[in-house]
Amino acid sequence: MIKKVKPGRNNRRANINKQSKRSKRGQYPLERGDKDTDHSSLKGTDPFCLTAAEVLGEVGPLSKILPGFQARQGQIEMATAVEQAIASSETLVAEAGTGIGKTFAYLAPAIMSGAKVIISTGTKHLQDQLFHKDLPTLRDALKINLDAVLLKGRANYLCHYRLKKSLTDSAQQGHSEFVGLKGIELWASETKSGDKAEYQTLAEDHHLWPRVTSTVENCLGQECPDYGKCFVVKARRAAQDADLVVINHHLFCADLALRDSGFGELLPDAEAIIIDEAHQLPEVATRFFGRGLTSRQLQDLAKDTLAELLTDAADMPELLSEVQGLPQSIARLRYALGREGQKAAWQPMLDKPELKESVEELDKRLVDLAEHLEAIAERSQGLQTCHSRSVMLRDMLTSLQKPQDKYVHWFETTRQGFLLHQTPLDIAEIFQEYQQGLSSTWIFTSATLAVGQNFSHFCRRLGIENNQSGQWKSPFDYENHSLLFAPEELPEPNAPDYTQAVMTAVKPFLEANSGGSFFLFTSYRALQIAAETLVDSLDKLVLVQGDAPRQILLEQFRKAGNAVLLATSSFWEGVDVRGDALSCVIIDKLPFASPGEPVLEARLAAMREQGQNPFMDYQLPQAVITLKQGAGRLIRDVNDRGLLVICDPRLRNKPYGKRFISSLPPMPRTTDFERAMNFLVSIK
């Protein structure tokens, strides 16, 4: 279904010279087909003469190389909409239900358009899957020589300069890390991309990676002695020349923020920009359009400055003392912020004498450090960079102490660190300027963008106007393969015994299910209560988020076949478990965001001042989209069957419960415990 919202801006860019683009991709051994040809057989045609519908059709190129291929009407319709949007320079907002195959639905028309295309995914994992699996499949089917590049943020690429510095430091100080660094050095001599995902010896979050990769703050740029072989530079140059570039939302937003700062851009200009998992983009963009100061940035400054001083300014012991005192000031500020796990407004904290004193101490330390480094910065590029970083971090600390309109200042604490944030309350105007400034076709797609059939919440958050919208339902047989159970007689979610009552209501399903179960929570506190109750009382494997990395938990879950996974927000989306390994999904509450979260609290207050209804205009539609994500974990394949249990009584007894139900897949619904149990037991 395509819905025309407003007329598009057809003059946003010049027409694409598709023939020259295609010739760039190589000569094709296939003969060009005639437009009047009967496409019941597509053999012998130039792939660029085919429409997206023909590529994805029953006798199209994909059918020849994918075993068991079946054409999907929803996929073909979506691909046609993407094809039309690119051809007419329109903005398209497209919701594709689970099983539509949205990746091929936008990849096929994007490739065949001849346009230079940027595709942004929600995570690096999806980015790798698209580039290493989906794209090669389509490229092989079409028999084309497409120039595609995978581009990630700089923290994903090995830095030769920082590797050498770390090796030298470790050798001089006798660190046990020296062996690990030598292994990276050997890999560095072999890799062509420098992407740390290639190096399987170390986990992606290993503590050595920050020592051998760079950040915006510590990169030496063109002054780096290893600039000529820099992996980041090579990757970005390749992206400038590529037909198609695959990135993720963090890099995409980093590029927009860099354009705003006046320092150029990371990404090439593109004729079409496709945002996959687009429901994640507003929150990612909100973080990038703000500013922040973290204890990690300050500690890295201290470490890097100390290393540079030992090399180029060992004759200045007073400066060494100044740098060595910086970690003490960082620790004092962290102590003054109190317990870990906090997220709260920053300004009220400045009224506390201990915190105010610790901020003033850190401020003075950064001022003194910047002055000392300025005097000796000419000795090396490394010292110049450390001086610039000290000035920048001090400016950020100063900015955080001054309230600003349209921004909220807040902090969060970890076990040993802190993060201070300056976050915009609304990014719609900011993002709209970027969208209009980049003369590109825009495609926003996800399985969860609409509330019912309405896209206004998503579009309003990003300032999207003059767009078409399309919604394609999942092809899966929810009517016969699923059931939604809403338990009766549960207390209201704010009742003190609510979580225990939920445990009593759903435990029989966890025990009876011969397959696996996801138990999804809206808070860590409820998760912990459930873990204490279930780990020892269920006669099956119970996995708890936080006990192991996410990927390891998922591997254990799939392998067990009948495990129970207790999890919160990070497992509500981006998790794909097919077959009997997951046949029951239980959700404890409707996923309304906590009103005590500082950015949300400030955002809702601003909406009230503007005469809006924060609950109906923001909290409710956001919760609906989140519930759609969680419920979407259940049916992932045409043969999957499963029971969805939503415990929250508000789904039944509040008027807005209908908004949630109308946005879910068309599952049969029941409040009958026996019917739900019989359905679950029948799943083999």
507: domain CATH number is 3.40.50.300
At residue 58, does pLDDT exceed 70? yes
Which of helix, strand or coil describes residue 589? Answer: coil
Residue scoring higher pLDDT (105 or 288): 105
Query: Which one-letter DSSP state was computed for residue 619?
Result: I
What average pLDDT does range 78-99 have in this prediction?
Answer: 95
**What is the spatial distance between Cα 470 and Cα 3, in angstroms, rounded to a whole number?**
6
| Residues 6+ away with beta carbon under 8 Å from 673 | 485, 487
User: Is there a single domain that holds both residue 501 and residue 458?
Assistant: no
Q: Given phi > 0 = left and psi -120 to 50 = alpha, else beta, which region is 664?
A: beta
Residues 624-656, buried b or exposed e (16+ Cβ, 10 A)?
bbbbbbbbbbbbbeeebbbbbbbbbbbbbeeee
Is 644 within 8 Å of 636 (Cβ atoms)?
A: no
Which H/E stretch holds residue 118? Answer: strand 117-121
What average pLDDT does range 524-545 have in this prediction?
Answer: 93
List, for residues 108-150, the tens digit of each pLDDT value. Answer: 999 999 899 999 999 888 898 999 999 999 999 998 888 999 9
DSSP code string of 174-238:
T-TTHHHHHHHHHHHTT-SS-BGGG-TTS-TT-TTHHHHB--TTT--GGG-TTGGG-HHHHHHHH
Q: Is residue 162 part of a domain?
A: no
At residue 563, does pLDDT exceed 70? yes
Q: Is residue 169 part of a domain?
A: no
On the 0-12 / 13-18 / 19+ scale of CB atoms within 10 A, 38 is exposed
| Percent with pLDDT over 70 in the chain | 91
User: Is there a single domain that holds both residue 672 and residue 584?
Assistant: yes
Measured torsion, CA atoms of residues 49, 53, 56, 57, in degrees rounded to the nearest 10: -100
Q: Of 573, 311, 502, 292, whose CA–CA distance to 417 is shortest?
A: 292
At residue 43, does pLDDT exceed 80? no
**What is the spatial distance between Cα 209 and Cα 199, in angstroms, rounded to a whole number?**
11
**What is the spatial distance between Cα 244 and Cα 242, in angstroms, rounded to a whole number?**
5
Question: In which residue are the tokens 């000419």 written?
Answer: 378
Residue scoring higher pLDDT (36 or 566): 566
| Residues 6+ away with beta carbon under 8 Å from 300 | 210, 215, 217, 218
User: Is there a single domain that holds both residue 439 and residue 316?
Assistant: no
Which of helix, strand or coil describes residue 419? Answer: strand
Which of helix, strand or coil describes residue 658? Answer: helix
Residue scoring higher pLDDT (150 or 37): 150
Q: Residue 311: which CATH number?
A: 1.20.1440
Q: Is residue 56 part of a domain?
A: yes
**What is the spatial distance between Cα 423 and Cα 399, in angstroms, rounded to a whole number?**
12
**What is the spatial distance between Cα 122 and Cα 168, in angstroms, rounded to a whole number?**
37
Q: Is residue 192 part of a domain?
A: no
pLDDT at 123: 87
Is 13 within 8 Å of 439 (Cβ atoms)?
A: yes
Question: In which residue are the tokens 């919701």 written?
Answer: 95
Question: In which residue are the tokens 């040809």 written?
Answer: 37
Q: Is residue 617 part of a domain?
A: yes
Is 94 within 8 Å of 444 (Cβ atoms)?
A: yes
Q: Is residue 81 part of a domain?
A: yes
Confidence class for position 100, pLDDT limits 50, 70, 90: very high
List, for residues 631-652, the tens digit of each pLDDT value. Answer: 999 999 999 999 999 999 999 9
On the 0-12 / 13-18 / 19+ scale of CB atoms within 10 A, 109 is buried
Is 652 within 8 Å of 622 (Cβ atoms)?
A: no
At residue 501, does pLDDT exceed 50? yes
**Average pLDDT along the chain:** 88
* Distance, CA of 574 to chain centre: 9
User: Is there a single domain that holds both residue 310 and residue 353?
Assistant: yes
DSSP code string of 231-280:
HHHHHHHHHHH-SEEEEEHHHHHHHHHHHHHTS--SS---SEEEESSGGG
pLDDT at 622: 96
What average pLDDT does range 5-22 have in this prediction?
Answer: 36
Question: In which residue are the tokens 């950015």 written?
Answer: 599
Is 412 within 8 Å of 63 (Cβ atoms)?
A: no
Question: In which residue are the tokens 């509040």 written?
Answer: 654
| Residues 6+ away with beta carbon under 8 Å from 376 | 312, 313, 316, 319, 383
List, for residues 440-489, the tens digit of each pLDDT value. Answer: 899 999 999 999 999 999 999 999 998 999 999 999 999 999 999 999 98
pLDDT at 175: 62
Q: Given phi > 0 = left and psi -120 to 50 = alpha, else beta, which region is 431?
A: alpha
User: Is there a single domain that holds both residue 464 and residue 484?
Assistant: no
- Tell me the whole-structure pTM to 2 decimals: 0.87
pLDDT at 320: 84
Which of helix, strand or coil describes residue 422? Answer: strand
Q: Is residue 356 part of a domain?
A: yes
User: Is there a single domain that holds both residue 372 and residue 464?
Assistant: no
Give the residue numbers spanning the domain of 346: 292-424
**What is the spatial distance between Cα 628 and Cα 572, in angstroms, rounded to a whole number?**
9
What average pLDDT does range 662-668 have in this prediction?
Answer: 95
Q: Is residue 521 part of a domain?
A: yes
pLDDT at 684: 73
pLDDT at 18: 40
At residue 20, does pLDDT exceed 60? no
- Read off φ and ψ for residue 482, nearest 5 degrees: -145, 165
At residue 15, does pLDDT exceed 50? no
What average pLDDT does range 79-89 have in this prediction?
Answer: 95
Lowest mean pLDDT among 155-169, 172-186, 522-536: 172-186
What average pLDDT does range 383-412 have in this prediction?
Answer: 92
Which of helix, strand or coil describes residue 627? Answer: helix
User: Is there a single domain that holds both residue 401 and residue 454?
Assistant: no
Confidence class for position 437, pLDDT limits 50, 70, 90: confident
Question: In which residue are the tokens 């740098």 written?
Answer: 323
User: Is there a single domain that holds both residue 497 and residue 415?
Assistant: no
pLDDT at 30: 26
Confidence class for position 216, pLDDT limits 50, 70, 90: confident
pLDDT at 47: 58
**What is the spatial distance between Cα 388 and Cα 384, in angstroms, rounded to a whole number?**
6
pLDDT at 260: 54
Lowest mean pLDDT among 13-17, 393-397, 646-650: 13-17
User: Is there a single domain that holds both residue 455 and residue 494?
Assistant: no
pLDDT at 10: 33
User: Is there a single domain that holds both residue 54 and residue 106?
Assistant: yes
For the chain, the domain total comes to: 3
User: Is there a single domain that holds both residue 600 and residue 463?
Assistant: no
Q: Which structure tokens are listed for 346?
A: 């920053």
User: Is there a single domain that holds both residue 634 and residue 500?
Assistant: yes
- Read off φ and ψ for residue 58, nearest 5 degrees: -60, -35
pLDDT at 265: 60
